[in-house]
């Protein structure tokens, strides 16, 4: 190739490169203009929606919220990497994060759940601007229902009545005994939870079941009230979704039950659920939830009213919390003082009793045997059996020898003659003596002797004198 041809080739390459660069720039300009048009359309749609809300064109707005609306109150959400609740449960020593909300694990070890419940219990946190945006919709009579995945109860604290709220995953506002199913309020078990004690049922005797707050655990059925979504979503004229990942079912499915003509507004950190493939009337506000809500309230000319209302009510909540804490301290102090007084009284009484015992003369109790008088016939029978026992001990053989029925020599003592006559049959029967029923006439009555069990083998070894005194 000549120098002229090579220069021509290089110039052609440079031209082609410049054309490519120009086309790339043009394509970028087209894409940018397209995104600007899309953003302007979204902005116009949002402004139109806000204007419609302001003018009262919507009167059946359904709001669907998740844990993201409570993060501004200091409560972490569940699934945000690094700051979410599931990433910070290692201190509870559970096998995996979801175990803290599993019923089988709760029945085995309920301590981790109640430690978490202490952090999330109603009264510790206060509602923020996101909750009061829902309050604004309620005060303007355009809120039909709010469906929440949260268990913190901040929607109630924001002044939204319970009939407008569907707590799909339960609430801390009530509890149920796991054995007898008796109901408790959150105030009934608050003290035990904050004292790091497991609340135990006391309404039924011998129950001793654990009182579990009415939080829906995994594999548990959702509340019956959740079924209202079958009517609420199809009849809604606007659906607002805030602060949720739409990853927990069946809650995530209810967003799709709205009509395709219904306007759906997503205010979230990222696109989720079916908003990834948006409908024609879908509007999305991606970014910080609190900032976007403040902008909406400003456009609705309600920002200052809502912030003043929120400050006033939260100050009242703070005052109630402090007064409740003071009352708790006062009652605890009163209980401690009563216990100290009872202990001091006990010690004084004990000291007084010990002094009385030390001053009291020591009295020795001497037990005197109860004198028993026997008549002559009883004494003869006792002597006869004693002699028989002594005679048997002197015998070296186990068999009893044959004794003659009569002896040639006459004995002067009556005890020996009675002994010989009783041993003539080589049998000695044990006797038992009956005490007379009337103790006053004991000395006058004779104790009657009667034969009891007849011993066949070696009767002298088993001969006993059984007297009943």
Does 207 show up as a binding residue in the annotation?
yes
Does 177 show up as a binding residue in the annotation?
yes
Determine the Cα–Cα distance for residues 457 and 463; give it in Å rounded to an integer: 11
304 belongs to the catalytic site: no
Whether residue 64 has a cis bond before it, omega within 30° of 0: no
Determine the Cα–Cα distance for residues 173 and 184; give it in Å rounded to an integer: 9
Determine the Cα–Cα distance for residues 22 and 17; give it in Å rounded to an integer: 9
DSSP 434: P
Does 201 show up as a binding residue in the annotation?
yes
Q: Who contacts 177 (Cβ-Cβ below 8 Å, separation ≥6)?
A: 184, 201, 203, 204, 207, 209, 210, 211, 212
Burial pattern 219-258, b for ≥16 Cβ within 10 A else e, equals: eeebbeebeebeebbeebbbbbbbbbbbeeeebbebbebb
Catalytic entry in 131, 144, 169, 385? 169
Question: What backbone phi and psi angles, to 5 degrees, belong to 267?
Answer: -120, 105
Alpha carbon of 182 to those of 117, 178, 208, 270: distances in Å? 20, 8, 12, 42
Structure tokens of 16?
Answer: 């082609």
Residue ranges of the binding site for Zn(2+): 177, 180, 201, 207
Residue ranges of the binding site: 177, 180, 201, 207
Residues involved in catalysis: 169
């Amino acid at each position: 190739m000549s120098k002229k041809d090579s220069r021509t080739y290089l110039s052609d390459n440079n031209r082609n490169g410049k054309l490519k660069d120009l086309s790339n720039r043009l394509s970028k300009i087209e894409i940018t203009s397209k995104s600007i048009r899309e953003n302007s359309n979204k902005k116009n749609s949002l402004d139109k929606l806000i204007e419609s809300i302001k003018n009262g064109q919507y009167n059946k707005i359904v709001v669907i919220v998740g844990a993201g609306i409570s993060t501004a109150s200091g409560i972490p959400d569940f699934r945000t990497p690094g700051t979410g609740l599931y990433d910070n449960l290692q201190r509870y020593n559970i096998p995996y994060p979801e175990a803290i909300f599993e019923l089988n694990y709760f029945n085995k070890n309920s301590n981790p759940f109640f430690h978490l419940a202490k952090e999330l219990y109603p009264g510790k946190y206060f509602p923020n601007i996101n909750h009061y945006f829902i309050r604004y919709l309620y005060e303007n009579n355009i809120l039909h229902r709010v469906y929440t995945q949260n268990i913190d109860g901040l929607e109630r604290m924001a002044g939204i009545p319970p009939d407008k709220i569907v707590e799909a995953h339960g609430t801390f506002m009530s509890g149920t005994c796991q054995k007898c199913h008796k109901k408790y309020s959150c105030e009934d078990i608050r003290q035990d939870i904050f004292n790091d004690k497991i609340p135990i049922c006391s309404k039924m005797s011998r129950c001793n079941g654990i009182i579990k707050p009415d939080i829906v655990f995994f594999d548990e059925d959702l509340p019956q009230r959740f079924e209202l979504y079958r009517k609420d979503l199809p009849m809604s004229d606007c659906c607002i979704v805030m602060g949720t990942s739409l990853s927990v079912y069946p809650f995530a499915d209810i967003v799709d039950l709205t009509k395709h003509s219904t306007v759906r507004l997503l205010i979230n950190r990222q696109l989720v659920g079916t908003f990834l493939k948006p409908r024609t009337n879908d509007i999305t506000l991606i970014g910080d939830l609190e900032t976007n809500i403040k902008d909406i309230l400003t456009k609705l000319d309600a920002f200052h009213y809502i912030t003043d209302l929120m400050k006033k009510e939260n100050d009242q909540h703070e005052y109630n919390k402090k007064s409740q804490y003071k009352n708790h301290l006062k009652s605890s102090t009163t209980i401690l003082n009563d216990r100290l007084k009872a202990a001091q009284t006990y010690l004084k009484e004990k000291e007084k009793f010990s002094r009385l015992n030390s001053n009291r003369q020591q009295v020795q109790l001497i037990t005197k045997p109860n004198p028993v008088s026997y008549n002559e016939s009883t004494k003869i029978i006792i002597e006869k059996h004693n002699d028989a026992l002594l005679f048997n001990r002197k015998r070296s053989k186990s068999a009893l020898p044959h004794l003659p029925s009569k002896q040639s020599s006459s004995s002067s003592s009556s005890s020996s003659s009675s002994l010989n006559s009783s041993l003539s049959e080589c049998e000695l029967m044990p006797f038992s003596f009956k005490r007379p029923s009337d103790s006053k006439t004991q000395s006058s009555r004779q104790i009657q002797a009667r034969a009891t069990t007849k011993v066949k083998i070696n009767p002298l070894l088993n001969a006993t004198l059984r007297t009943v005194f």
